[in-house]
């Protein structure tokens, strides 16, 4: 996702002099390095200083530029949270805050580097759009949208590099603010977003192997949530499942449950999220998700 973001940003920025990138001591490699060489003034590294990264991005946007602020998700959102809230969202500026390593992607670095409640926090801030692509192709579409929109601030939650392409054959295109069907099905509808989509599709495979017809939808835009799309899923399917790499409080699962309650939905509804806990565990991304209670095997077993 990181590399695809860099490629798309470079392609757009070479033709749009308003596009800038402000980073805090971390850089997407590849195309962004090329961008920095060709347009050194439009690449700013604030160093290990995230508050000024966001503050500067706000000031640049007010004076007509279109900045992306880019660093590890925890430091992009948590450290300068009040700058994101006041400088970007209160002032409604079209700045994209890119958080790398969303969820527990940085699986060996400890909870200081786990953006495990980032989506819930970002969703709580008025005016902040929250986009969490599930693969490089969605990252490309989302980056393109962020770079060309004027409506306001965005938190773009990416994983890191090397995620598999999952949506090449999706029957629906990526559209901001709309649920996207990745696989059609009739019995069960699974809603998911972000890098955990890989596991979600494995869950779907297991359910399919057990004879269920499984629909998988990408909720790449967590805010503004496609409420009509969620309502339709709750109405059209006997069983709706949410799988997300985010803390339970304020995440998508809780939001879908609220909509189900408000609309009197009758379907079975299950939600799987990260635990409401800090874990002291190191290993692969899958190891950490498992420590949080999330694995395809365990989820499928709970659903069958």
Partner 1 sequence: MEHRVSNAFDRAAARARCRAYRRRILEISQQVSALHVAPAFSCTEITDAAYNGLMRRGADGAPLDVFLMSKGHGCMIQYVILEEMGVLERRDLDLYCKPGGRLGAHPDYGVPGIAASTGSLGHGLGIAVGQAYAERLKKTGVRIFCVLSDGELQEGSTWEAMMMAANLRLSNLVVLLDNNDFSGLERMSEAHRAFYPVLDKARAFGWEAAEVDGHDGGAIVEAVEGRAGGDRPMLVTCRTVKGKGVSYMEHVPIWHYRSPNPEEYRRALAEIEEN
Minimum CB separation from partner 1 for residue 48, in Å?
9
* 163, 194 Cβ separation under 8 angstroms: no
Structure tokens that stand for 117 in this block: 């409640």
DSSP state of 91: T
Q: Is 105 buried (19+), middle (13-18) or exposed (0-12) by CB count in 10 A? A: buried
Stretch that binds partner 1, among 56-64, 150-158, 248-256, 261-269 (CB under 8 A): 56-64
Of how many residues is the chain composed? 304
* 234, 179 Cβ separation under 8 angstroms: no
Stretch that binds partner 1, among 40-48, 147-155, 169-177, 238-246 (CB under 8 A): 40-48
Return the number of the residue (94 or 194) whose C-beta is nearest partner 1: 94
Q: List phi, psi (to 5°) of 295.
A: -150, 155
Q: Which of 27, 31, 46, 218 touches partner 1 (CB under 8 A)? A: 46
Structure tokens that stand for 193 in this block: 């977003």
Stretch that binds partner 1, among 58-66, 205-213, 275-283, 296-304 (CB under 8 A): 58-66
Say whether residue 63 binds partner 1 (CB under 8 A). yes
Torsion of CA 279, 281, 287, 291, to 10 degrees: -30
Write the interaction track for partner 1 spanning residues 77-116; mark x where CB under 8 A is met and - where it is not. -----xx--xx--xx-------------------------
Q: Among 26, 143, 29, which Cα is nearest to 74's?
A: 26
Say whether residue 127 binds partner 1 (CB under 8 A). no
Stretch that binds partner 1, among 63-71, 182-190, 193-201, 266-274 (CB under 8 A): 63-71
- Residues lying near partner 1 in the complex (CB under 8 A) are found at 20, 41-42, 44, 46-47, 49, 51-52, 54-65, 67, 82-83, 86-87, 90-91
């Amino acid at each position: 996702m990181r590399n695809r973001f860099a490629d798309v940003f470079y392609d757009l920025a070479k033709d749009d002099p308003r596009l800038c990138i402000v980073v805090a001591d971390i850089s997407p490699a590849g195309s962004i390095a090329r961008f920095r060489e060709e347009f050194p003034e439009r690449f700013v590294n604030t160093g290990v200083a995230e508050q000024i990264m966001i503050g500067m991005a706000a000031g640049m946007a007010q004076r007509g530029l279109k900045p992306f602020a880019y660093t590890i998700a925890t430091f992009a959102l948590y450290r300068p949270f009040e700058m994101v809230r006041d400088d970007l969202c209160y002032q409604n500026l079209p700045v994209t805050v890119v958080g790398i390593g969303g969820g527990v992607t940085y699986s060996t670095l400890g909870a200081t580097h786990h953006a495990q409640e980032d989506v819930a926090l970002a969703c709580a801030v008025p005016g902040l759009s929250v986009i969490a692509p599930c693969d490089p192709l969605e990252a490309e579409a989302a980056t393109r949208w962020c770079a060309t929109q004027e409506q306001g601030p965005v938190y773009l939650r990416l994983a890191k590099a090397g995620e598999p392409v999952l949506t090449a054959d999706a029957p629906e295109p990526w559209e901001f603010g709309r649920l996207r069907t990745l696989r059609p099905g009739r019995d069960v509808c699974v809603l998911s977003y972000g890098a955990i989509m890989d596991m979600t599709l494995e869950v779907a495979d297991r359910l399919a192997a057990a004879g269920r017809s499984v629909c998988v939808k990408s909720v790449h835009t967590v805010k503004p949530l496609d409420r009509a799309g969620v309502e339709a899923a709750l109405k059209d399917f006997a069983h709706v499942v949410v799988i997300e790499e985010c803390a339970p409080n304020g995440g998508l699962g809780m939001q879908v449950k609220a909509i189900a309650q408000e609309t009197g939905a009758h379907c079975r509804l299950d939600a799987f999220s990260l635990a409401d806990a800090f874990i002291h565990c190191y290993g692969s991304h899958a190891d950490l998700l498992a420590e949080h209670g999330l694995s395809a095997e365990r989820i499928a077993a709970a659903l069958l």
